[in-house]
A and B are shown apart, each in its own frame.
Chain A
Amino acid sequence: MKKIEIGSLQKIVGENNVSDKVADLYVYGADASVHQALPSVVVRPKTIDHVQKIMRYANKNKIPVVPRGAGSGTSGHTVPIDGGIILDMKCMNKILEISPQDMLVRVEPGVVDDDLNRALKPLGLFYPPAPASSRIATIGGEIAANASGVRSVKYGATRDYVYGMKVVMANGDLVKLGSNTRVHSSGYQLERLIVGSEGTLGVVVEATMGIRPLPKFRCLAVANFDKLEDAGNAISEIISSGCEPSMLELMDKIGIVAVNKAMDLGLKEVGAIILFEADGNVKEAVDFEIEKMKRICESHNGKDIKKSYDLAERTKLFSGRKKLFASLSRYKEGIICTDLADDMGVPNSKIAEAAAKIHEIAKKNNVIMAVYGHCGSGVIHTKIMLDPKKKSQWKDAANVIEELYDYIDSVGGVTSAEHGIGLSKAPPWKKARADMIPVMRKVKKALDPNNILNPHKIMDAPDDWVGATNLRYKVG
């Protein structure tokens, strides 16, 4: 890597959009993960031309470039492990086109998910993937991680909405991938290759995304369970019996206690809660789905079932789940919530078993783990809650990760269902998918021969995630 000439970058994007101030480097060196590493410079492009010029400069001088959206990644995707340029894409935040006739939108990568939905709502439309972090997450970041959220059980993930995109490649070339239609069969589906590539293959500078009509009716229901196992089995049966929930969420007791402490919600501290929702344009059909799911919950000892069509009431019922992630930090004094082992995917039939196994592994290794998530689509969210000051707790966390992912692999699950691999999930992922690594390296080499785009992530990430970068917590 050659020395970065700030002046060259300033010439491209203007003086005010380049910073090598310590305050900026320190902040842009971290995301929502446990990792932290300093970049050499932060650059804010505003146009496609800016991105092309920056990439040409970086490629010529072999300088690492890490594209970054909201920095809400949980596994260190945007932590610049080799230094170099952080490409802050948040200034490219224009909605370029909304076409209700074509049921698509064309956006710049820095558009925030909620902003897009705010613009679509008056037209009776919505962009469905919406991860829980939709308030800040950018479309570019969602593409990079193939993000999904609470409604993935019905509407799928980001990849299902990507029609086409413009991408700046490592050498600065601009390519247009995909189409303006929901399906296409015109050559390699390279737009799909970019989805989930975590900024390692190209910089998305424009995306054409599918949108859907807003359903007229949404009904949300909540069921309490004394046993987590019962709740897990109820979810498995709801899915396998052909119900069509638009949301099917689980929260275990640890999660319930945490949101009660953080937000004073007064939820009944039972073994687990399931939130299930149905949506549609015919109320009777929505009622039918809700009733069916209600009966399944009851057959698995679900009780105190409440339901509502009212937006305010639904928002209230869902508020605990919405802010659960952050609330986990309040579960116990001296213990904090770290973004580790956070989003494994398991087959539908294994929900209850996996939930029990997670608690068992946590207990064995002296940490606390909440089990929650979009279990209807097989996504189990956990977080490792530990005392960050104790060095031994990081060893405990490493043990949990190893044991837990061995189990997940053994039941046919995946390391990450919606957050991506980055740094902290790379070791278990590499162990589970050793066969994929040579192919992925060939793809990477073909598209980025100088290895400048977000290097040393996913298949090339270090084998020891604890020592991969500085931890952003002070240990000891």
Chain B
Amino acid sequence: MGLIGKLFYMKNKGKFNRLKKWEGELNKCIRCGYCYELCPLFKTNNWESDTPRGKLLLVYGMITGELKPTQEIVDKIFQCFYCKNCSDNCSAGVPVTDILTDARADLIEQGFEVEGTIVKIDEDLCSVCGVCVPLCKYDALSIEPDGTGKEKIVVNKVECRGCGLCVSACPSGAITQKEGCEITIPEIHEKVKELIKEDGKKLIVFACNWSLFPGMQLSASPILVKTDYGIIVSMCSGRVAPELILSAFEEGAWGVMVAGCPPEECDHNGNYKTRRRLVLLKNVMKELNINPKRIKLEWFSTGESAKLKSSINEYLKKVEKMGPINKIEVSKKLEARR
């Protein structure tokens, strides 16, 4: 930080220039908690401080001066996927995610190092190919000079929504997210393994958090009814990387279903990427001696939990007819290319 930067930092330390205006709105929150059973982050971590109402309380504490911002508080505030289930369902009409965005900007201005659900770029692996930049609907990624005459990808930490589209699109695997929220590729892989090996699931359903909230609710419920399918909430369908699907087959899945928002309804335009990716993947599958019909892509709008359920059951029947995959073997065509 240069001298001017330092002066600017000192001037803004402890100030909440953007957040101050929300004090009245924060008073409107009656803490009914209706927001938090809808929060995917809470469903994963189960700490009240990860809930939208918990975060609002932390923000309130900071702007009223009762709570001194610390790194651990900042870490909580920056964990959010912006699915907006909380804002959309708040009957007191509190604009939760707008408040959290302003909190991000103020806390960054105060000089905090932030991670949360924001993507980070490993500059050693990044070739600055720029594939990720146009992918981001929120313009959170840009190519900037790195100060040594070269270029680098820069993440706007206020705007990044943590959807993870860039993570699955990066050809070098240079973009990652913090572990602990069950959204990174290794974490989802572990979940796939657990569902297949421990719970004996035949069908893995990767479900979008946005359109499939009721489905997610269903999957997270401690129901006793045993099913042959397991639902993994993968946030946007666009972040279901091909290797995740292939690894599901490798672990022994009989079929994989990817469920996303219908065209035009995706917040991140991730569904188009998935569609394209799955067409390519189906071609690869033929070369691996796996019936391409073992992958299914389907669109669901918000609230279509009944359709989700019947689609899964219908597809499960087809998958059961196909039975388990006997052997994954590389075709002669691919072998020759090797």
Bound complex: CA A94 to CA B23 (Å): 38
Q: Does A434 contact B (CB under 8 A)?
A: no
Q: Does A26 contact B (CB under 8 A)?
A: yes
Bound complex: CA A24 to CA B72 (Å): 9
- B73 lies within 8 A of A23 (CB): yes
Bound complex: CA A329 to CA B25 (Å): 9
- B64 lies within 8 A of A474 (CB): yes
- B221 lies within 8 A of A118 (CB): yes
* Contact A98-B224, Cβ < 8 Å, known A27-B48, A71-B33, A262-B91: yes
Q: Inside 8 A of A330's CB, which chain B residues have their CB?
A: 28, 92-93
- B76 lies within 8 A of A95 (CB): no
- B30 lies within 8 A of A32 (CB): yes
A366-398 CB contacts (< 8 Å) to partner B: 388
- A72 lies within 8 A of B33 (CB): yes
Bound complex: CA A44 to CA B50 (Å): 14
Q: How far is the CB of B322 from chain A (nearest CB, A)?
A: 27
- A111 lies within 8 A of B222 (CB): yes
Q: Inside 8 A of B27's CB, which chain A residues have their CB?
A: 336, 388, 473
Q: Does B266 contact A (CB under 8 A)?
A: no
| Chain A: interface residue total (CB-CB under 8 A) | 51
Q: How far is the CB of B320 from chain A (nearest CB, A)?
A: 20
> Chain A interface: which of B53-61, B135-143, B181-189, B326-334?
B53-61
- A135 lies within 8 A of B48 (CB): no
Q: Does A247 contact B (CB under 8 A)?
A: no
Q: Inside 8 A of B92's CB, which chain A residues have their CB?
A: 262, 326-327, 329-330, 337
Q: Does B16 contact A (CB under 8 A)?
A: no
- A334 lies within 8 A of B24 (CB): yes
Q: How far is the CB of A185 from chain B (nearest CB, A)?
A: 31
Q: Does A91 contact B (CB under 8 A)?
A: yes
Q: Does B67 contact A (CB under 8 A)?
A: yes
Q: Does B70 contact A (CB under 8 A)?
A: yes
Q: How far is the CB of A364 from chain B (nearest CB, A)?
A: 24
Q: How far is the CB of A286 from chain B (nearest CB, A)?
A: 25
Q: Does A12 contact B (CB under 8 A)?
A: no
B201-230 CB contacts (< 8 Å) to partner A: 217-218, 221-225
- B93 lies within 8 A of A262 (CB): yes
A1-57 CB contacts (< 8 Å) to partner B: 19, 21-24, 26-28, 30-32, 44
CB-nearest residue of chain B to A473? B27
Bound complex: CA A112 to CA B36 (Å): 12
CB-nearest residue of chain A to B56? A27
Q: How far is the CB of B70 from chain A (nearest CB, A)?
A: 6
Contact with A along B61-101 (1 / 0, CB 8 A): 10010110010110110000000000000111100000000
- B58 lies within 8 A of A27 (CB): yes
Bound complex: CA A472 to CA B29 (Å): 11
A303-348 CB contacts (< 8 Å) to partner B: 323, 325-330, 334, 336-339
CB-nearest residue of chain B to A339? B30
Bound complex: CA A30 to CA B60 (Å): 12
Q: Inside 8 A of B73's CB, which chain A residues have their CB?
A: 22-23
Q: Inside 8 A of A27's CB, which chain B residues have their CB?
A: 48-49, 51, 54, 57-58
- A23 lies within 8 A of B223 (CB): no
Q: How far is the CB of A454 from chain B (nearest CB, A)?
A: 17
* Contact A24-B91, Cβ < 8 Å, known A32-B32, A70-B33, A473-B27: no
Q: How far is the CB of B32 from chain A (nearest CB, A)?
A: 5
* Contact A32-B31, Cβ < 8 Å, known A26-B67, A27-B49, A327-B91: yes
- B222 lies within 8 A of A95 (CB): yes
CB-nearest residue of chain B to A330? B93
Q: Inside 8 A of A329's CB, which chain B residues have their CB?
A: 28-30, 92-93
Q: How far is the CB of A207 from chain B (nearest CB, A)?
A: 14
B5-55 CB contacts (< 8 Å) to partner A: 23-24, 27-34, 36-37, 46-49, 51, 54
Q: How far is the CB of A47 from chain B (nearest CB, A)?
A: 15
Bound complex: CA A423 to CA B29 (Å): 20
Q: Does A446 contact B (CB under 8 A)?
A: no
- A136 lies within 8 A of B93 (CB): no
Q: Does A90 contact B (CB under 8 A)?
A: yes
Could you name 10 residue pairs across A and B whose Cβ atoms are closer than 8 Å? A24-B47, A27-B49, A27-B58, A71-B48, A94-B222, A111-B222, A133-B34, A262-B92, A325-B32, A336-B30
What residues make up the interface of B, taking CB atoms closer than 8 Å to A? 23-24, 27-34, 36-37, 46-49, 51, 54, 57-58, 60-61, 64, 66-67, 70, 72-73, 75-76, 90-93, 217-218, 221-225
What residues make up the interface of A, taking CB atoms closer than 8 Å to B? 19, 21-24, 26-28, 30-32, 44, 70-72, 88, 90-91, 93-95, 97-98, 111-112, 114-115, 118-119, 122, 133, 135-136, 262-263, 323, 325-330, 334, 336-339, 388, 472-474
For the complex of A and B, 3 pairs with smallest distance between CB atoms:
A323-B91, A326-B91, A329-B28
Besides the contacts A24-B49, A27-B48, A27-B51, what 12 more A-B pairs have beta carbons closer than 8 Å?
A: A21-B72, A22-B72, A26-B61, A32-B32, A90-B46, A93-B222, A94-B222, A119-B225, A329-B92, A330-B28, A334-B24, A337-B92
